[in-house]
């Protein structure tokens, strides 16, 4: 929460805070995997891609931030 307040009000809506939290949380999850296992653990294997929940969180957070900036 202090990080959000320290940005100067740029993340003053609930959706923006969720987007920032998702992006930071996804990055932290990938860093933990890299530290703990030496590689990022992918566990969703679709026919066209392989990814993990941390990747989904990062994409969600960045996408919401971009959409928010386009709408304003």
What pLDDT is stored for residue 61 in this prediction?
92
b/e 21-59 (16+ beta carbons within 10 angstroms → b): bbbeebeebbeebeeeeeeeeeeeeeeeeeebebbebbe
What pLDDT is stored for residue 10 in this prediction?
60
What pLDDT is stored for residue 1 in this prediction?
46
What pLDDT is stored for residue 9 in this prediction?
58
**42 catalytic residue (yes or no):** yes
Catalytic residue among 32, 42, 50, 69: 42
What pLDDT is stored for residue 65 in this prediction?
86
Catalytic residue among 24, 25, 51, 55: 55
- pTM to 2 decimals? 0.73
17 vs 23: CA distance, rounded Å: 10
**45 catalytic residue (yes or no):** no
Q: Which residues of the chain have pLDDT under 50?
A: 1-2, 4, 6
- Residue 20 in tokens: 């920032």
CB atoms within 10 A of CB 61: 21
What pLDDT is stored for residue 4 in this prediction?
47
């Amino acid at each position: 929460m202090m990080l959000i307040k320290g940005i100067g009000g740029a993340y003053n809506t609930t959706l923006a805070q969720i987007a920032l939290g998702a992006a930071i949380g996804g990055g932290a999850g990938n860093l933990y995997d890299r530290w703990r296992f030496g590689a990022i653990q992918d566990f969703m294997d679709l026919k066209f891609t392989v990814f993990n929940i941390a990747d989904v969180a990062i994409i969600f957070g960045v996408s919401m931030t971009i959409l928010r900036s386009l709408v304003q």
